[in-house]
Amino acid sequence: MRTGRVGKFTLGLGFIIIGIILIRVWLVPTLEKILILTPEIQENVIEEDAVPNFTDISDIPTKKQVFFDYLAPAVNHQNALIQNERNFLKVILVNLENKQNLTDAEIFKLEQLTTKYKYSVKNFNTTTLSPLLERVDTVPAKMVLIQAANETGWGSSRFAKEGNNYFGQWCFSKGCGLVPLSRKPGLNHEVASFDTPEDSIAAYMLNLNTNSAYSLLRSIRADLRSQNKEPSAEELVFGLIHYSERKDAYIDELLEMLRQNKAYLAGL
């Protein structure tokens, strides 16, 4: 009788041990993937075939509202993805400050981030990773939308309609996009084509966050963050000084568009 109880106890203990092993082997890595390895590329919230025909909208106030309403969800979606990356990086920095070792999953994620944001680093520590926060950061939705409106004539440009390009991004391999009708002889650039408008938004934000031409924008944003201020479109627009050959005139035009369309952008 006593031997039977011991046998049952041993058998039960064995099941518990097996259960713990299964949880460690399967559940914990699964949770790590959910919490840390969230895919950067998720399904777009707007699709190419849903693009309104902005050219056919003759009433200007209606066109503006439709344009903003259409693109705003994608802008917010991309900012949410960037914020997720930023939150992860901030947690890593806190953990490193507390002398915690990085897991394999965290190292993999950091390698993804440094590659995506074109940030070369040999070792992961607080000194090398802290500057990456200047790149992994959101872009004010109002600035994104106003610049898209400016670059495409409220969605009516050829590049927006044929290539889903809302920010005039260039590419330099033959067939990568649309050849500008006004391209000068000897030049080989094209205006990039994207599968969806949201892909254009994602590429534009990554360009602002990585290209050396927009280091001023990132510096202004980081300075505002250090003062616990949320960067605004009116403040960051000055960091676009190299976006157009028109320089200051381009900035002034964007600022005026922000002022004129304040009512349409109030909810953002």
Q: List the beta strands (DSSP E) in 43-176.
A: 170-171
Taking the CA atoms of the chain, what radius of gyration do you get in angstroms? 24
Residue 27 has pLDDT above 60, yes or no: no
- At residue 39 the predicted structure's pLDDT band, cuts being 50, 70 and 90, is very low
Average of per-residue pLDDT across 64-71? 97
pLDDT, position 48: 56
Residue with tokens 């890595």: 29
Q: How far apart are CA 200 and CA 165, in angstroms?
A: 6
Residue 37 has pLDDT above 60, yes or no: no
Q: How far apart are CA 191 and CA 200, in angstroms?
A: 11
* Beta-carbon-side half-sphere exposure of residue 204 (alpha carbons within 13 Å): 30
Residue 8 has pLDDT above 50, yes or no: no
* 243-252 pLDDT, tens digit each: 999 999 999 9
Residue 33 has pLDDT above 90, yes or no: no
CB 237 within 8 A of CB 258: yes
* 150-179 pLDDT, tens digit each: 999 999 999 999 999 999 997 877 878 777
Q: How far apart are CA 44 and CA 103, in angstroms?
A: 30
> pTM of the full predicted structure?
0.81
pLDDT, position 191: 87
- At residue 42 the predicted structure's pLDDT band, cuts being 50, 70 and 90, is low
The pair phi, psi for residue 158, each rounded to 5°, is -60, -40
Mean pLDDT, the chain, integer: 86
Q: How far apart are CA 141 and CA 75, in angstroms?
A: 6
Burial of 31 (C-beta count, 10 Å sphere; 0-12/13-18/19+): exposed
- Of 139, 138, 36, 132, the C-alpha closest to 93 is 132
Structural domain boundaries of the chain?
141-260
Residue 180 has pLDDT above 80, yes or no: no
Q: How far apart are CA 86 and CA 258, in angstroms?
A: 27
- At residue 189 the predicted structure's pLDDT band, cuts being 50, 70 and 90, is confident
CATH 1.10.530 at 141-260, yes or no: yes
Average of per-residue pLDDT across 188-211? 94
Query: How many Å separate Cα 256 from the centre of its chain?
Result: 26
Two structure tokens written together for 266: 């109030």
Two structure tokens written together for 127: 């000194």
